[in-house]
Amino acid sequence: MARRPAPARPPERVRRRRSGAGAARAWLAIALISGAIALVVWIAGRGPSHRAAQRPAADALALVRAVAGRQHIPADWIEAHTDDPGEASGQTITISVRPGFVVAPFVLALQAEFHNQGGDLAPRPLGESGGYGLARLDGNLRGDRVRVIVLGERVHPRATTRPPRPTRRVHARQDGVAELAIVLDDAGNRLDVIEQLTALPIEVAVAVLPNSPHAREATQALLRQGRDVLLHLPMEPIAGSGVGAGPGAVTVDLAGAEVSARVHAALATVSGACGINNHMGSRATANRPTMDAVMAAVSGAGLFFLDSRTTPDTVAEDAARSAGIPALRRDVFLDVVAEPAAVRGGLRAAAARAVAQGHAVAIGHVHPATIETLLRELPLLLDGVILVRPSQLARELN
């Protein structure tokens, strides 16, 4: 059988053309694959896990202001304080919000923004929670400590946003000297704290919880020190704001006779008190019938009432004045966070408020950090600020 002749090889120029077309197709394929990979990387880079690398870096205050702005919180309602030299690097940012502000979505938005910038924020317990203290978050951003506190009232409101208070003086004092009264709450749980208080100036007053285990002993020990003692009357807080006010608290569901009975029982325990202030009470102090019943129970007893203002909706001060009871109101909380740096900041704010309006009332607690910080810082108060007893201030202003 005859062999078939081998096919003739194409001419050289045809071979070169075919070879070049194959190379072109190969390069085109490589280019398409490379483009696809680049597209995938670009899309991934726009995802949440890579946002921090794609965004320009922002400091903590800028992040907070950006989130607050989306919630229509005015920029001048946000204040930042850098820690004193020698302490851990960082800052505390305080945000004031209007009554009725829903804080939970705002907290989540803050946490997300810090996470997207490579930082973190986590909720922490907050003193005076409820209508006043709404949230506290601690964390860091690029190695710097950050604390964010959300409050239900303005820390430093402008003078035009606050109704004027009586300023009648019943005794002469040196012109240009601002008066600051300090009250430390929650005494009665430990007797060793009462001994520590002896080192504080005698003008610093103490409020005793009537339902605490050592209320009677603490009251008598404080009276022997010569201090103003206040009844720290437990009142109903907003639901979900932490632990309750404890047994014997004044609640909004009580009839007037029962309110009176509870007030008198508490006064019998804290015998010798010269004034009353509310323990918690973010719900009770916003209820006018309840506050009228409290004031009716103490009318004519020669006591003053200090509205702790645990809620901006409080009517306690107005109810006291309407009943003819000398009244004061808290201007600054010293230890919303019971740490030395926070207490120092609160004390400075109280002194500044006293200078601005001629007088101020600051409330703290018998926390060790608060007592120790006051021992160090009270001698360093700004010139022109003097400590006075709250009973003295109540006489002057009413």
Number of domains in the chain: 2
For residue 279 the two structure tokens come to 């323990």
The CATH number of whichever domain residue 185 belongs to comes to: 3.20.20.370
Same domain, 99 and 193: no
Question: Tens-digit pLDDT profile for the chain (398 aa)?
Answer: 455 555 555 555 544 454 555 555 555 555 555 555 555 445 444 444 444 344 445 689 999 999 999 999 999 999 888 766 555 557 889 999 988 899 999 999 999 999 999 999 999 987 766 678 889 999 999 889 999 999 988 765 543 333 334 443 333 345 678 999 999 999 999 999 999 999 999 999 999 999 999 999 999 999 999 999 999 999 999 876 667 899 999 999 999 999 999 999 999 999 999 999 999 999 999 999 999 999 999 999 999 999 999 998 999 999 999 999 999 999 999 998 888 988 998 999 999 999 999 999 999 999 999 999 999 999 887 668 999 999 999 999 99
Provide the CA 65 distance to its chain's centre, in angstroms: 17
- Of 111, 129, 151, which residue sits at a domain end? 151
For residues 284, 183, 98 and 83, what is the CA-based torsion angle, rounded to 10 degrees?
-150
Q: For residue 219, is it within any domain?
A: yes
∠ CA 172-178-182, nearest 5°, is: 105
- Of 124, 151, 178, which residue sits at a domain end? 151
In the Cβ-directed half-sphere of 207, how many Cα atoms lie within 13 Å? 27
Q: Quick one: 21 exposed, middle or buried, by C-beta within 10 A (0-12, 13-18, 19+)?
A: exposed
Domain that holds residue 231: 163-397
Same domain, 170 and 103: no
CA–CA dist 117, 119 (Å, integer) = 6
Q: For residue 244, is it within any domain?
A: yes
For residue 255 the two structure tokens come to 């009839």
Q: Taking each helix axis as running N to C, give the angle between helix 60-70 and helix 103-116, from 0 to 180 degrees, rounded to the nearest 10.
A: 140
Same domain, 119 and 236: no
The CATH number of whichever domain residue 145 belongs to comes to: 3.30.460.10
Same domain, 133 and 186: no
- Of 151, 182, 203, which residue sits at a domain end? 151
Same domain, 83 and 139: yes
SS (H, E, C) 75-89: HHHEEEEECCCCCCC
pTM of the model: 0.78
Q: For residue 354, is it within any domain?
A: yes
Same domain, 246 and 208: yes
Q: Name the amino acid, one letter, at 306.
A: L
Distance of CA 59 to CAs 14, 119, 136, Å? 67, 10, 19
CB 311 within 8 A of CB 131: yes
Q: Name the pairing type of β-strands 133-141 and 120-123.
A: antiparallel
- Residue whose structure tokens are 């607050």: 68
